[in-house]
Every structure is written in structure tokens, then in C-alpha cells.
Amino acid sequence: MRSSIDRARKRLQDMNVLVVGNGGREHALAWKIGKSPRVERVFVAPGNAGTAEDAENIDIKADDFPRLIRFAKENQVELTIIGPEAPLTAGIVDAFEQTKLRVFGPSEAAAQLEGSKVFCKDLLHHANIPTADYKVFTDGDRAAKYIIDRYPEEKQNVPVVVKADGLAAGKGVIVCATRAEALDAINRVARDREFGAAGSRLIVEERLDGQEASVLAITDGRTIVTLPPAQDHKPANDGDTGPNTGGMGAYSPAPLVDDEMLRWIEEHVLVPTVHAMKRSRNPFKGILYAGLMMTNQGPKVLEYNVRFGDPECQPLLMRLKTDIVDVIDATLSGELDKFAGLEWDPRPAVCVVMASEGYPGSYERGRPIRGLADAAKLPDVKVFHAGTATLDGEVVTNGGRVLGVTAMGESISDAKRRAYEAVKCIRWDGAWCRKDISDKAVQ
Ligand code: AMP
Ligand code: GLY
């Protein structure tokens, strides 16, 4: 008996872990997993130039489930962690579990929380969780009529948000101020099908005002462990102006959400969501990420994501002291309730995204990046790669968001100063970043 337990322990000591994805979030995950004394090898599929340094890249795309499964079997991968939403909503976790592989993330059914905004809004509504009022349409004309009936004056202020139901790489959300904008947004989603099949249903919802915060939790479907709050910076330019992006920077903790507020969010948002998922027989296992608007009437849910945020993951994991493999292991065994809790470095972390010229519009790839080694020498700094590749032995740009330069400091302003000091070391033709990441925390 004892020897079989010892053998099981031993096996779980020299684990091979596979991370699926190729962005900054996956680099942060691979880096953190690689620090676990229980881990032997970390593979990233397909990865980027940064994950090639901190782990081993595997040339398999995140949507090629059969090859990923074969790789995991052939390489004694004991644990697979899925970074992005697309494979999760396409059922990668179900595919791995069917072949008895251990995998961290929600099932296809549970991932609908992000994959379908209608599913998410209906769940929030039925569970009485605060969120913006909304209406669902399958027909653009009906949605347009609803706007015109509700706002009969052409010049009226129309504070609504139009959303395509499905995944649209963060682009299927159009925030409107006028009637013309709302009608145009409905046309783009329903008639022009700018977001493809994601627009076969659409939501028109009340526009909320306030600051946004990201509250993430890890859950095994019953127990919830909430992570410290973070804040993303979605608009491209300083002062939250310009087009929306995947996120130009993040920091944690976000003082906007104090301990009392975090407990409130846990009780009134996260717990009822996890219970509602369990009741509907789609228990949610993995990372539950609430995108919240802190309104005058309290926090309201803007959306759920079913994975770590990118770039929120980078400052969060830089501060996490607990072995992430232990937490994930406990989650997969349904034993998160026995877990002692997470330990965090009290120092805040700030992540500044450096982007390609033209992003979030079109951009060129293949521009050589200089100064990475100088940035790496700075203390308490980690440069996470997002859109990078290696070409003829050189690290080159290979995406819109290229790097997530992350630093810890004694205060948020100190972490910010250190992050920008590292940014200054790094250059390529057309590189740019926002200059005000984390300023909202210190105002
Ligand atoms: P989502 O993908 O639903 O998080 O939406 C992307 C972004 O659109 C959010 O981060 C907000 O900035 C904005 N947004 C979404 N819903 C609303 C809303 N009801 N009111 C105001 N802004 C919103
Ligand atoms: N940072 C926002 C997201 O990951 O969707």
C-alpha cells in the first residue's frame, strides 16, 4: 500500500507539463510552472521566442487537438494547461479528458460562459447577479426597431452597448453614444456580419459608467479561491482613448477593489455563478475571470472569461509565491477546499505591453528586437513575450502585442518606474506602448 502511494508521489514529483497557447499569458504560465520543484519539463504548444527560452516549444497549433493529445501521451505529460479561450470553447478539455489526460480548464459546456454572451447574460440574470440590463435579438431589424422605439428622437443620447453573441477576438463589442452609432453597430453585427457567425445573435445592453476591474478566481466547481484584483488597460492610447485592443497593460493589486469590495464580489458574483453552473450540470473548473464595471450602484459584471486574462496573468503570476502546480493539482482532484490558500508577494506588479506599429490595425512582422538582454538584467523585472518568434537566431516581432514588460516594486509607482526603465532598454522599428499604465491606481 505504502509503496504504491510512494510511487504515485514520486510520479507526481517529476511531472511533464504542457501549456497550450502562444501569448504573454502562456509565457507567464510556462515561466511560473517551470519554477515548481515538482516539474521536470515544461512544453508550450506552439509558444513563442520567450517560451523557447524558459520552456520547450512544440510545433503544434492550439486548435489541433488530436496532435496535442498524441504529444501528451507520447511525452508522459501529466498535466496540460489551456491558455486561450478558443480551444476551451471548442472542447479541448473534453477531448483530453476522454483520453484520461489531466487537463486544467473548463469543459466546452462550461466555457460557454465566455463563448456565448447570451448564455452568460441569461445565467447572470437568473442567478440575480448584478449586470447591465439587456435584450437578445436574432434579427437586426427587430434590434433596430427596439432602439428607434425606445429612443424616438434622432439626436437623443443613446447609452447602449451592442455585442455579438459569440467569440470575436475581443472585437465584437461596440460601445455607443448616439442613435446613429447604435443603428450602425447593429448593422455591422447582424447585416454585414462583420464578426461572422458570432453575430447570429446579438445583445443590446445598457451602457454602464465607471472604472473597470478584473477579478479572477480559481475553482474546482465547488470551492473558490479568489486572486487579488487587477486592472487592464483596453484602449490603445494614453488616458483610455483610441481603439480597443487586447489589453495594453495591467497591474495588481488594484486599490479600486479593496478587501471589503473583493469579499462582496466573491459573495455576490463569483459564488452564485459557480453555484449556478453546478446546478445547471455544467460545473465550472478552471479560472473564472469576472470583468467588472465599478458603478455608482456597486460592481456589475460586464462579461466572464473562462481563463487567465492577458495581460492580467503576467503581474498576477509574478506576485504569486505559492507553487502554481500544487494549486492546479488540488483543483483537478476536487480538493481545493483542503488547500491552505495562496501566498502573494505584497509588492505590486505592473505590466506594460509593447506593441507593433499599426496595432490594433494591421502591422508588419519580422522586425528584429534589440535590448532584451539588458532589460533581463534589471532586478524584479521579467519580460514576457507575446507576439515574438525566432528568425535566424534573432528574436523578431510576430504579432500586434509583442512583449509584456513586467516589474515589481515597493509601491505601484515604483513598479511602474521599474517597468518603464526596462521598456527603455528594448527597441525595434515602430515599437510603442502606453505611457500611463497603472496611473489610475495612484490618482
Ligand atoms: P466585454 O468583451 O464584454 O468585456 O467588452 C469589452 C469592453 O467593452 C469592456 O471591457 C468594456 O470596456 C466595454 N463594455 C462592455 N459592456 C459594457 C457596458 N455594458 N457598458 C459599458 N462598457 C461596456
Ligand atoms: N485582458 C482581457 C482579456 O484577457 O480578455
Is pLDDT of 9 > 50?
no
* Predicted local confidence at residue 3, as pLDDT: 45
CA 214 – ligand 1 centroid, Å: 12
pLDDT computed for residue 191 by the predictor: 82
Q: What is the pLDDT of residue 74?
A: 97
CATH assignment of 4-107?
3.40.50.20
Rounded mean pLDDT, 12-27: 94
- Which ligand has the shortest distance to the CA of 310? 2
Closest CA to 19 of 240, 1, 60, 2: 60
Average pLDDT over every residue of 25-38 = 97
Fold annotation for 209-338 = D-amino Acid Aminotransferase; Chain A, domain 1 (3.30.470)
Greatest extent of the chain over all pairs of C-alpha atoms, in Å: 78
Q: Atom 9 of ligand 1 has which residue's CA nearest to it?
A: 302
- The domain locations on the chain are 4-107, 139-200, 209-338, 349-442
Ligand 1 pocket member 132 (CB < 6 A): yes
Q: Is the CB of 303 under 6 A from ligand 1?
A: yes
Whether ligand 1 lies within 6 angstroms of the CB of 175 is answered as yes
* Of the listed ranges 184-193, 202-211, 248-257, the one predicted with least confidence: 184-193
Q: For the residues 375-403, what does the mean pLDDT come to?
A: 97
Q: What is the per-residue pLDDT for 222?
A: 92
pLDDT at 291: 97
Q: Which CATH number describes the domain made up of 349-442? A: 3.90.600.10
> What is the pLDDT averaged over residues 260-282?
96
pLDDT for residue 443 = 65
**144-159, pLDDT tens digit by residue?**
899 989 888 878 889 9
Instruction: Tell me the ligand closest to 314's alpha carbon.
Output: 2
User: Which of the listed residues 289, 302, 353, 406 should we mutate to test ligand 2's pocket, taking the one with most ligand atoms within 8 A of CB?
Assistant: 289
Closest ligand to the CA of 167: 1
Which atom of ligand 1 lies closest to the CA of 207?
20
pLDDT at 1 over 60: no
Q: Does the pLDDT of residue 199 top 80, yes or no?
A: no
**Nearest residue (CA) to ligand 1, atom 6:** 173
What does the pLDDT average to over 134-140?
92
Is the CB of 257 within 6 Å of ligand 1?
A: no
Residue 10: the pLDDT is: 43
339-354 pLDDT tens trace: 878 999 999 999 999 9
Task: Report the nearest-CA residue for atom 5 of ligand 2.
Answer: 309
Residue nearest to atom 4 of ligand 2 (CA): 309
Q: Does any ligand 2 atom lie closer than 6 A to the CB of residue 314? A: no
Domain 209-338 in the same topology as domain 4-107? no
DSSP-derived secondary structure letter, 268: I
* pLDDT for the residue numbered 269: 98
Residue 170 has pLDDT above 90, yes or no: no
Q: For residue 296, report the distance from its CA to the centre of ligand 1, in Å.
A: 16
Ligand 2 contact, 48 CB (< 6 A): no
Q: What is the pLDDT of residues 348-372, one digit of tens each?
A: 999 999 999 999 999 999 999 999 9
Q: Which atom of ligand 2 is nearest to the CA of 305?
A: 5
